[in-house]
Structure 1
Amino acid sequence: MNLFPCTLVYVDDDAKPGPNSTNRDPLSYVSQAICLNNSLRRVGMPTLTIMTNAPALVEQRIGSMPAEHRPVVTKLAATIELPKNTPFYAAHFKLDLMDQVAASLPEDTMMLLLDADMVALLPLDRSLVERCAEAGLGVFDISDQVFPAYGSESVVEDLEIVADRRLKNPRWYGGEFLLATPASLRRLVPRARAYYARYLSESGRLKHHGDEAFISAALNTLVDEGQVLIEVGAYQAVGRHWAGNNYRDVRWFRCCSFVHLPGGKALLEKEARFGEFAPDRFWRHMRVAHLRGRVRHAVKRIAKMLSVGRLATWSAYAVRSVKS
């Protein structure tokens, strides 16, 4: 089974930037995709395809690169319409990407949909790819991160609103990684489009926005109807890392095939300036960012403790004043 690595770069100067993006350059995601493609080349994986609504701008950005190092650029047929102030606005167009790929991908090839702010450290395990090919879908279950952060009841409620049904075992799937056969995409995309329409109509009731909401709802209902999913995170095919977060020991990520750095976009954009991806350099910069993040977390905790302490002191003083 062959792989077709692809990523979305949706360019719209008028749209609200992603919540995790600090670079206001709409083509900053191209730099991240260059880094991702360099890392794919290093581990012997196929060239990355950038699917974009602005192919001329993307081609211009990568035009100075050696031809053999460039990602492939393909025009995205964008059909989705939604308010431009919607959180994660650009990510919604992954649905159009999946639809387009489903119609053009050879039957012996699996789509490997990746976010641009990722790096490849190791080739995907072939036995894992074969399992995903047999099942049709390889997904990244991040429920253990999302449920505690937002409350399981809140997350499940949103999924069931979008799906318009009770789900047997609701799970939340990360949008940064999806491995899918053409046949499974042809099942998933129509369901996701139907749920996208409901997602839009119910957006005022939802606490979570972005492609993960309606894609996760679609995947959950397919599972309830018998679809088998291979959860690739357990195999360390992909890990989501936030600088300073102690969710996992940072060393765990060194054994992942892909690392997603949603808060590390600037690091990846700097890494893209080099002609070749160097894992040691990447890890050095990542560890520095992680340590700085740990310091920021510690300062915030101390500030919160001091604030609580001052509030407790003021409350005690107020009680004494009333009694006197």
Structure 2
Amino acid sequence: MTGALVIGGTRFIGRHLVNDLLDHEYDVTVFNRGNHGNPFADDDRVYRIEGDRTNDSALELARERAAPDIVFDMVAYEPREVRAATRIFADSAYVYVSSGAAYADEEIPKREGETALEPCTNEQATDDSGETYGNRKAEGDRTVFAAAERGVRAMSVRPCIVYGPHDYTERFDFWIDRVREYDRVIVPGDGTTLWHRAYVGDVASALRVVAEAGEAGEAYNVGDRRLVTLAESIELIADAMGEEVEVVHAGSRELAAGGLSPTDYVLYREYPHVLSTAKLAALGWDSTPVAEAIDRSVADHVDSDRDGSEHAPDRAAEERVLGVLDTL
């Protein structure tokens, strides 16, 4: 049985990864601080080690106790954390969770090894703001590549926007809630905005596939093999709920009536963000059909207390926009 150590492992992507590994008969250990609930607390197949991944001694102890064949690093947010992990786990396969945000150039699609990555200054490397997230992930990728040159079997996986059950970011939940609560859903622009997404179960399987068949020093994009626009997403959510909704398109002028702009809406992007997934597919990976992935996401949303309200424009503001549109 192959031993896997998951750094993180109890919230979202890591939670799905642990389940995927168990389904494929891995011996699984999770390493985290225990700040969040542990869904595997009653599962004797999952061993847990408590510790802070920013503490090198704690990582070394986890290495000694778990003796992993593969390490999945779900929560490395600064390059120094990747440097430490690739050194400490130099005798294991190491899979780093990067991000599509690591890409600097706007091109369609973004390809591994071709599209330029974000630069990262010393100041950005230790800054924890959202503005430097892509820079730090890109530097983490470069750290992985450097480790591979030293002989470590280190690889990187770059997801785009991840959605699905247990999504604490609630980005996709915002749109599910809109369809659930209102029969008219405002979509900014003409509805064709395209921000590539990845179903969380597919991200989990991608991590395992890369660990099993990936090449050291390589990065692999992961995202839905079929892309859908924001307006199409609303229609798929409505189908999953058995609801009928009117998709109302609102441009910048109409949104201004409610003090809004297109960028106030989560998952809106002016320029399409598309990642090529051909390299990952060549390893034998495939994605869940989008309609099925959205069905599962909707079912989980209905059973949860998530509503995406932290992302939401005020509905009263949207009602003002609808009032303007109704007079046109």
Give the TM-score normalised by structure 2: 0.32
Q: Which has a greater percent of helix?
A: 1
Give the TM-score normalised by structure 1: 0.32
Greater relative contact order, per chain length (Cα 8 Å cut-off, separation 6+): 1
